[in-house]
C-alpha cells in the first residue's frame, strides 16, 4: 500500500487497484477561443494545473498505474445536448457553433480534444461524456469495475464543475478519490479553494485532497525510477 499525506487524513491506496482519472483537459476549456472562453472565462487560470498534472501522469504511466481520460462534449448532430444546456447563460456562441478551434464542444473537433501535454496513449481509455460527471451516461463505472479499481487519483478541469461532480459520483459508487489540488484548475480562484474544502470536509465527505508533490513523494518510495523520470520531464 502507498500512503500519501492528505487531508482530512492519510490516503492509502494499492497501485494495482488504482486509476489516475484525467478530467477534461480539452483545448475547449484550457485555451482561448474555446467553449470556456465563450462563457466569459479567463482560460489562463487553467494552464497552471497542466505541469503538475503532466508530472503525475508520467509518473503513473511509468509506475504501471491505470490511466483513464474524460472529455466533455456532444455528438455532431447535437442529439445528446439538452436544450437547457444549449440555452444556459445566453452566451454569444452556443455549443455546436463554429469557433477558431472548430465547433464548440463537439466530438471530433480540434477544440474538443485533449491538449498535447497530457494526450492519451495506447491503452488509456478516453471516456466521452455529455454532462459534467464522468459517470453519467458513460461506461466509466464498467471500465473501472472491470479492472477491480477502488482508488482514484484525480486531476483535471474545472475543479468545481466536472472534477467535483465526478468525485461526488465516484463517492456514491464506492470509490475512494484523492484530488490533487495543484493538478486541478478553476477559472475562479475562490471556487477552487472552496470546492477542495467541500471535498475533504466532514472527515472526507466526498474524498481526500493532497497535492502533486505529496503524491509523487509517496509514489517514489515504491517506484523511485518512475518518479525520477517524471520529475526530469521524461
Q: Is 6 in the site for ligand C5J (CB under 6 A)?
A: no
Q: Tell me phi and psi for residue 33, to 5 degrees.
A: 95, 0
**Interface residues for ligand C5J in 116-135 (CB under 6 A)?**
132
For the four alpha carbons of 174, 221, 218 and 144, in that order, the dihedral sign comes to: negative
Q: Is the peptide bond before 109 cis (omega within 30 degrees of 0)?
A: no
Binding region for ligand C5J (CB under 6 A) out of 13-21, 135-143, 155-163, 196-204: 155-163
**The only residue of 19, 49, 152, 162 in contact with ligand C5J, by rule CB under 6 A:** 162
Active site residue 129: yes
Catalytic residue among 28, 113, 129, 211: 129
**The only residue of 161, 170, 196, 218 in contact with ligand C5J, by rule CB under 6 A:** 161
Q: Which is nearer to ligand C5J, 43 or 158 (CB)?
A: 158
Binding mask 28-47 for ligand C5J (x = CB under 6 A): -x------------------
Active site residue 24: yes
Cell numbers found for residue 64: 504501471
How far, rounded to the nearest angstrom, does the alpha carbon of residue 177 sit from its chain's CA centroid? 12
**The only residue of 157, 167, 180, 219 in contact with ligand C5J, by rule CB under 6 A:** 157
Q: Is 25 in the site for ligand C5J (CB under 6 A)?
A: no
**The only residue of 31, 45, 54, 72 in contact with ligand C5J, by rule CB under 6 A:** 72
Buried b (16+ CB within 10 A) or exposed e, 160-182: bbbbbbbbbbbbeeebbbbbbbb
Q: Which is nearer to ligand C5J, 67 or 161 (CB)?
A: 161
Q: Which is nearer to ligand C5J, 151 or 187 (CB)?
A: 187
Q: Is 24 in the site for ligand C5J (CB under 6 A)?
A: yes
In the complex, what is the shortest distance from the CB of residue 66 to ligand C5J, in angstroms, rounded to a whole number?
Answer: 21
State how far the Cα of 26 lies from the Cα of 30, in Å rounded to an integer: 6
Length of the chain, please?
234
Give the bridge partners for 70, in sequence order: 23, 127
State how far the Cα of 60 lies from the Cα of 155, in Å rounded to an integer: 12
State how far the Cα of 41 lies from the Cα of 73, in Å rounded to an integer: 18
Active site residue 176: no
Nearest Cα residue to 72 out of 81, 63, 62: 81
Contact at 8 Å (CB) between 164 and 209?
no
Enumerate the active-site residues.
Answer: 24, 129, 162
Write out the residues near ligand C5J by the rule CB under 6 A: 24, 29, 72, 132, 157-158, 161-162
Amino acid at each position: 500500500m502507498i500512503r500519501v499525506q492528505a487531508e482530512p487524513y492519510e490516503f492509502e491506496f494499492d497501485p494495482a487497484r488504482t486509476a489516475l482519472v484525467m478530467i477534461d483537459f480539452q483545448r475547449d476549456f484550457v485555451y482561448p477561443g474555446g467553449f470556456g472562453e465563450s462563457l466569459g472565462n479567463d482560460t489562463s487560470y487553467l494552464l497552471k494545473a497542466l505541469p503538475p498534472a503532466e508530472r503525475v501522469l508520467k509518473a503513473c504511466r511509468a509506475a504501471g498505474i491505470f490511466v483513464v481520460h474524460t472529455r466533455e462534449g456532444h455528438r455532431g448532430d447535437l442529439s445528446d445536448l439538452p436544450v437547457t444546456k444549449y440555452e444556459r447563460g445566453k452566451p454569444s456562441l452556443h455549443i455546436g457553433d463554429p469557433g477558431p478551434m472548430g465547433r464548440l464542444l463537439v466530438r471530433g473537433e480540434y477544440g474538443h480534444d485533449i491538449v498535447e501535454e497530457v494526450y492519451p496513449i495506447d491503452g488509456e481509455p478516453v471516456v466521452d461524456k455529455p454532462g459534467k460527471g464522468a459517470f453519467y451516461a458513460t461506461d466509466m463505472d464498467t471500465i473501472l469495475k472491470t479492472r477491480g479499481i477502488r482508488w482514484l487519483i484525480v486531476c483535471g478541469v474545472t475543479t468545481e464543475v466536472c472534477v467535483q461532480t465526478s468525485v461526488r459520483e465516484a463517492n456514491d459508487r464506492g470509490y475512494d478519490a484523492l484530488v490533487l489540488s495543484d493538478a486541478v484548475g478553476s477559472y475562479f480562484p475562490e471556487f477552487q479553494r472552496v470546492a477542495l474544502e467541500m471535498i475533504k470536509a466532514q472527515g472526507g465527505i466526498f474524498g481526500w485532497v493532497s497535492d502533486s508533490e505529496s503524491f509523487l513523494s509517496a509514489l517514489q518510495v515504491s517506484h523511485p525510477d518512475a518518479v525520477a523520470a517524471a520529475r526530469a520531464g521524461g
